[in-house]
Amino acid sequence: MTKVPNFHGYHIRKWYLQIEDTLAGETGQPADGAPLRKIVIAAAIHNPYAGRFEQDLSRFIEPSPQLGLEFGRRIREAAADQTIESYGKACLVGIDGEYEHGNALLTNPAANPIRDALGGGKSWVPSTGKRGGPGTVIDVPLAHKDALYVRSHYDTVTAMFNDAPNRDELLIIWAFATRGRLNARLGGLQASDIRGQDGLV
């Protein structure tokens, strides 16, 4: 069924926001500094290619920078003046769609405006995805936005959307964190020592 576009050529049915603040670790050990805030922002988007194969997805990708701008606006609002240090992305595709359809909206045209909204991001964005229906649980990987070798910032945030995706929808999901894991103590490059040269260190 064709859906009337309501956002720069896309039909977005719903936006989602999930925020969690962790003040202590699993054993009750208090945070070594500020609490860890994790933020998930997602959009349920109609998939015009559901149920059929389409070789050329460029028309789907073309307006995706506007989608990135909106994700960027929403993360700045949700962060409430806190600095974002980590990010990750995922897609959850309704069962009439292909995994490729979700990935189409996670590429650099959509991602670069989000990097800009965070004041830059030199490392590539860790990513995952799968197909499923409403209530499917997905784990979104996180890593430091400027240096992938910062071990303390390897993390995951779990998300679930009770009414999405429908069979002909896909969920585009971005996750963010304000710091690394609480009481991280496995060594490696420290966030304070990032050189910011190549997205690795």
Q: What's the confidence (pLDDT) of residue 1?
A: 66
Q: What's the confidence (pLDDT) of residue 77?
A: 96
Q: Structural domain of residue 166, as residue ranges?
A: 12-193
Specify the pTM. 0.95
CA angle 107, 154, 124 (to 5 degrees): 25
Say if 200 falls within a structural domain.
no
Q: What's the confidence (pLDDT) of residue 81?
A: 87
Q: What's the confidence (pLDDT) of residue 197?
A: 78
Say if 3 falls within a structural domain.
no
DSSP letter, residue 181? -
Q: What's the confidence (pLDDT) of residue 92?
A: 98
Say if 18 falls within a structural domain.
yes
Say if 5 falls within a structural domain.
no
Say if 199 falls within a structural domain.
no
Q: How far apart are CA 104 and CA 187, in angstroms?
A: 36
Residue 155: strand pairing partners: 142
Q: What's the confidence (pLDDT) of residue 198?
A: 83
Q: How far apart are CA 30 and CA 53, in angstroms?
A: 51
Question: Which of 85, 63, 50, 51 lies closest to 8, judged by CA?
Answer: 63
CATH number of the domain enclosing 148: 3.30.1330.110
Q: What's the confidence (pLDDT) of residue 192?
A: 83
Q: How far apart are CA 53 and CA 78, in angstroms?
A: 37
Say if 47 falls within a structural domain.
yes
Average pLDDT of adjacent 10-residue blocks, the chain of 201 residues: 90 98 97 97 98 96 97 96 96 98 96 95 95 98 95 97 97 98 92 83 89
> Looking at the 3D structure of the chain, how many domains does it have?
1
Q: What's the confidence (pLDDT) of residue 74?
A: 98
Say if 4 falls within a structural domain.
no
Say if 74 falls within a structural domain.
yes
Q: What's the confidence (pLDDT) of residue 39?
A: 98
Q: What's the confidence (pLDDT) of residue 86?
A: 97
What length does the chain have?
Answer: 201
Residues 6+ apart with CB under 8 A from 185: none
